[in-house]
Amino acid sequence: VQHYSLCRLYAEQDQPEAWEQAVQMADAVLEIAGEIGYPGGRILGLSGKAMALLRLGKIQEAYRASEEAVTLLESQDTVGGNHEEGLLEERTFFEHCRVLRASGRREESDRYLQRAYDGLMALAEAIGPEHREAVLHNLKFHRELVAAWEGRRD
């Protein structure tokens, strides 16, 4: 968890050196997840690595990592829903959407945005109307997903 958290923290910085560190942390997550046989950890590591590579402008490498994350996610019966930053499936699909958009694959990107948004809305509905706004706005990832959905026609 610590390596994953550092990967995300570094990837959010505005310094290329931090993005390189994010790639290193993602590689550590992948190694640990592989050792313990945890597919959810591999998915998080691959998706986190894709985001760091995207920040570095390494679009093809980002695409390969993101595509591997989505393929692994879709091969699982269940992956394990929630983690500290939101829903695993929705995060993975949303980040894949971003990589696809950067790769010039807008139509495919829109399909993954739809999948991510639908999953978030299902969670918001399941929790109930009294907590809907909190679900949609309390986590940065959820706010970004809602904003991307609302701005998808741009």
Per residue in 104-119, pLDDT (tens digit) is 999 999 999 999 999 8
Residue 82 has pLDDT above 50, yes or no: no
| pLDDT of 150 strictly over 60 | yes
Confidence of residue 12 (pLDDT cuts 50, 70, 90): confident
Contacts of 78 (CB under 8 A, 6+ apart): none
User: Which residues have CB under 8 Å from 121's CB, separation 6+?
Assistant: none
SS3 content of the chain, % helix, strand, coil (to 5): 80, 5, 20
| Mean pLDDT computed over 62-84 | 79
What pLDDT is recorded for position 15? Answer: 86
Computed from CA positions of residues 24, 81, 145, 1, in that sequence, does the dihedral angle turn out positive or negative?
A: negative
pLDDT digits (tens, 9 = 90+) for 24-38: 999 999 999 989 988
Contact yes or no for 141/98 (Cβ under 8 A): no
Question: What phi and psi values does residue 18 have, to the nearest 5 degrees?
Answer: -70, -35
Q: What is the pTM of this model?
A: 0.86
Res 4 pLDDT > 80? no
Element at 90 (helix H, strand E): helix 88-102
